[in-house]
Amino acid sequence: MPIPQLSSSKSPRDWSKRQINQRSSFIPHKKRPNAPKTFNYKYRRPGSCRSNFKISPQLIKRLIPVGLILFLIATIFLLGAFAWYSRDLPDPNHLLDRSVAQSTKIYDRTGEHVLYEVHGDQKRTLLELDQIPDYVKWATIAAEDKDFYHHKGFSLWAIFRTAITNVLKGQTAGGSTLTQQFVKNAILSKEKTYSRKIKELILSYQIEKKFSKDEILKMYLNEIPYGSTAYGVESAAQTFLHKSTTELTLAEAATLAAMPQSPTYYFNNQDVLLGRRNHILNLMAKEDYITKDEAKQAQDEIMEIKTPRENIDAPHFVMYIKELLTKRYGERTIENGGFKVYTTLDFDKQKMAEEIIQQEMEKRGEQYNASNAAMVSLNPKTGEILTMVGSKDFFNEEIDGQVNVTLRPRQPGSSLKPFVYTLAFDNGYQPESILFDLETNFGSSGDGGNYIPHNYDTESHGPVSLRQALAGSLNIPAVKLLYLVGPEDVLDLLKDFGYSTLKSAEHYGLSLVLGGGEVKLLEHTAAYGVLSQEGLKYDTQAILKIVDDKDEILFEFKPEEAKSKRVLNKKTAQIINNVLSDNQARAYVFGLNSSLQLGDRPVAAKTGTTNDYRDAWTIGYTPSLVTGVWVGNNDNSEMKRGASGSVMAGPIWHNFMQQALEKQPIEKFSDMPDLPEIDKPMLNGQIGNEQIVKIDKISGKLATDFTPVSMIEEKTYFDVHSILYYVDKNDPLGPAPDKPEKDSQFEKWEETIRHWAEENNYNQEQPPTEYDDVHIPGSQPEIQIISPQANNTFNETIQCQATANAKQGTISRVEYYVDNQFIGASKSQPYYMLNTNAFNLSSGQHILKAVAYDQFDNSASQEVNFNYTNNSYNINQPTVFWFNPQANQTLNSTDFPINISASVSFNRPIYQIKFYYQTGDQTNLIGTLTNPESLSHLYLTWPEAPSTGNYQLYLEVVDNRQNTYVSPKINITLK
């Protein structure tokens, strides 16, 4: 893209009326058109100086031939000298065609920010004349050659005047025209010899004949040295003022015009430089290029010529771009070719990233002995690099700041785990599949010891789902999962995702999943971007377009046409995205408000921390932005304990993502896909085969229909094993292995699970296969009702009596029921019970049942009908007598728990009694007694004291027909 052509500044005057040269489009001088510069000499008046010396005509006649001969000799000499000195001069006709070294400019994605100029010894950018503001041209002409538009390349008078001045006054002032300066600085060498001066005059004259003044001015402004490596006004503006020529103020234009005379001196003596600037502004006003007011205003402008250090933004990214360009085009072409390179860099996001890294490292860097940080951010939908911060400070040699950590292999810690889980989900495992997080010896570590990894919190968490294990970054389940899916297959997946630094599986073993390998932050971040795009991989892009010095496009990447390659099943990617974005799942480790969440915006993220805290990572993404952050020390020295990924890298990642996405619409990940049902323990989220069995308490065998309910208990049997017992790691969804013990890890995993099951009271016994042989047909006791006899009639008192014999052991009790309502029991011979007013029956026929139980709760029953006559069937309210507490008693809260005791008198069978306390409209239940054996002494514990205040106690009585009666209330006080 060509440099934008900005409109030139204009003088208040109408310069179009004062054009000097028909070949010139630039109006430089105040004189009338075509009016040559004239000089007025004053002669002495005649006769003021008399002489008697006279030359005779004869002498003149003799001298003429001699003069002609001398003239011819001089002419021949001059022509010879002209030919001699011209023989090695460049052809003026080809000056515009010659190759002039130009800097390669590297831009951000908008083309508005020049990040850097790649150049050789000469840093140069060529501009068209109409791209240079008029006041830059005026300042140059006023400072160097005010008669530029009037001479023919050199001025004999100026040369003569300069020679006299240099001899008489000992000065070294120059008499060169602007054309001569161009020849001297851009075409010939700078040697101070007469021969070079002659060549300079000759070539200047030839150039003036060949080119217009505007063309000469353009060549001058594009190629004259301004100091340091800056050649041409554009490079000078960028080098010393850090801006483009089009952005120069009048004062800055005059300052740059002053520098070519003696760049080093003026740079080191900027007060003198400002004095020369002000002199040039006065000259511009004198020549009527600007007004005196404009000159005064520019002279008052405060400005500073900046150190000609490399003017560079996003330095690590720029060096990365330069490396890419050099590989493609070669070093010399990039330094001299004048390319314009438009990169993918988002300038605003880059500055944002640099500032956040500085701020966050100031907060925690010294505290945790961390000196450096790096960040990469990409658009995962196209692969474009939006930010690249290779270190905290590119220019800080103490931290090796020029090392681009985004391109250096570092151990990723747990931030590599998601790809192991991704492969597991692709193989059929599900987020709810179970692994045991128990300390496990995985065998030889390759260095003579045993590999026994531990979790970050040094705790073991028992059975956990894969969702919990990944969200909580648990190490032991991750190592087990790597074994199940295979390190070789994981490395193949990582290669497909774009990793280039990992070695063979034998090099890492099972430590691979905990960051045993080394990865580049750029590749690591791009791999997370593949997950964000549901398995589509876009090649990383850093350059949008390359344009050569002839504005021909050499390369162009169009984001809207970016091509992708599928490297992961879409459904699998949706599963891992769901797990990594589950803030609830990671809350038990990081909390709900950790740096890994962005409020209402769904985001998937993972941290990583290496052993001894040498590397801290956080990488996370939305569907449109993926960012990776690393914190540590370039010399690989340890940070302090606690410098984890969530503590060090997490806040940097969080702040950048929050600011970068602040004005962007919220994007959501795809919903969790439907998963098939799996009827296999561990894979389906069950710890093992669980079986609930009814057992006879006495025999310990399976209960039967003859087993009394009171003798039945339910037992849960767990077939608890490691996942290797149920799953063939080479075919997870296939049948269970016939001989799981052949797996080299089986016994190691099983041993830890057996200990865990014992400690947690998991019954790993096999359920019984035999049936209850205590409660069998024929083992029931015998019972016979003695009283009442069939169809006996009673009116108040019922006399109950039975005989019973046990076939096993002894009789434990005989219970009596009237119309299936329990009325009492007898535990000894002759199993007699006299019931007078425990209940009131209506007149008519009723059924009495007697049930005999032996010591094993085998039972037998007999029923008999009887008649009952009730001539005065009245229902009264229950009568309550309170033993403790008593009416109007004061209790202390320290007395609790207290035992409530009371007696109840009621003329109906009582099924249930409820105790209440009440204050105002609020009523609270203290407790309930069901089928109380004795109404004369009721006991209940009141466990906790209510708040202090006045309360009322009362009972609620429920009879055998579910009628409810409320007793009178008593008052108590609690303090």
Amino acid 16: pLDDT: 32
Lowest average pLDDT, out of 534-543, 567-576, 962-971, goes to 962-971
Say yes or no to pLDDT of 89 above 60. Answer: no
Best-predicted range by mean pLDDT (3-12, 204-213, 691-700, 723-732): 723-732
Lowest mean pLDDT among 5-19, 173-187, 605-619, 930-944: 5-19
Position 320 scores a pLDDT of 92
pLDDT range class, residue 895, cuts 50, 70, 90: confident
Average confidence (pLDDT) over 269-287: 89
Which phi and psi angles does 197 have, rounded to 5°? -65, -40
User: What residue has token string 């987020």?
Assistant: 431
Instruction: Mark out the alpha helices in 211-290 (DSSP H runs).
Output: 213-223, 233-236, 250-258, 263-268, 270-286
Residue 645 is classified by DSSP as I
Amino acid at 577: N
pLDDT band at 730 (very low <50, low <70, confident <90, very high): very high
Better-predicted residue by pLDDT, 812 or 32: 812
pLDDT, residue 355, reads 97
Lowest mean pLDDT among 117-126, 395-404, 426-435, 628-637: 117-126
Higher pLDDT, 624 or 801: 624
Tens of pLDDT, residue by residue over 93-106, are 445 555 566 778 99
pLDDT at 232: 86
User: 364 pLDDT band (50/70/90 cuts)?
Assistant: very high
The pTM for the full model equals: 0.61
Tokens describing residue 678 = 């799996």
Kindly report the number of other CB atoms within 10 A of residue 602's CB atom.
18
Q: What is the mean pLDDT of residues 249-254?
A: 93
192/374: higher pLDDT: 374
Write out pLDDT tens, residues 23-82: 344 444 443 333 333 333 333 333 344 445 556 677 676 677 766 666 666 555 555 545
For 568-614, list the strands marked E by DSSP: 604-609
User: Most confidently modeled of 221-225, 411-415, 946-950?
Assistant: 411-415
Cα angle 293-296-302, degrees, rounded to a multiple of 5: 140
**More confident position, 356 or 809:** 356
pLDDT in the model for residue 54: 59
pLDDT of residue 154: 61
- CA distances 16 to 13, 34, 250, 667, 737, Å, are 9, 14, 21, 58, 96
| CB 199, CB 90: distance < 8 Å | no
Contacts of 687 (CB under 8 A, 6+ apart): 434, 463, 681, 718, 720
- Per-residue pLDDT tens digits for 148-184: 888 776 666 555 555 555 545 444 445 578 887 777 7
Which residue spans within 198-345 are E strands per DSSP?
A: 225-227, 230-231, 340-343
Provide the CA 23 distance to its chain's centre, in angstroms: 61
Residue 13: which pLDDT band, with cuts at 50, 70 and 90? very low
Let me know: does 581 contact 668? Beta carbons within 8 Å.
Answer: no
Angstrom distance (rounded) from CA 704 to CA 715: 15
Write out the two tokens for 636. 């690989």
Calculated CA dihedral for residues 646, 649, 655, 658, nearest 10 degrees: -70
Confidence of residue 264 (pLDDT cuts 50, 70, 90): low
Question: Residue 618: phi, psi to the nearest 5?
Answer: -145, 125
How much is the CA Rg of the chain, to the nearest whole Å? 52
- Regarding predicted confidence, which is higher, 584 or 69? 584
Three-class SS of residue 805? strand
Q: Minimal CA–CA distance to 451: which of 460, 436, 441?
A: 441
How does pLDDT run across 308-324, given as a tens digit for each residue? 556 789 999 998 998 89
Closest by CA position to 390, among listed 309, 320, 310: 320
466-498 residue pLDDT tens: 999 999 999 999 999 999 999 999 999 999 999
Among 4-8, 163-167, 396-400, 612-616, the range scoring the smallest mean pLDDT is: 4-8
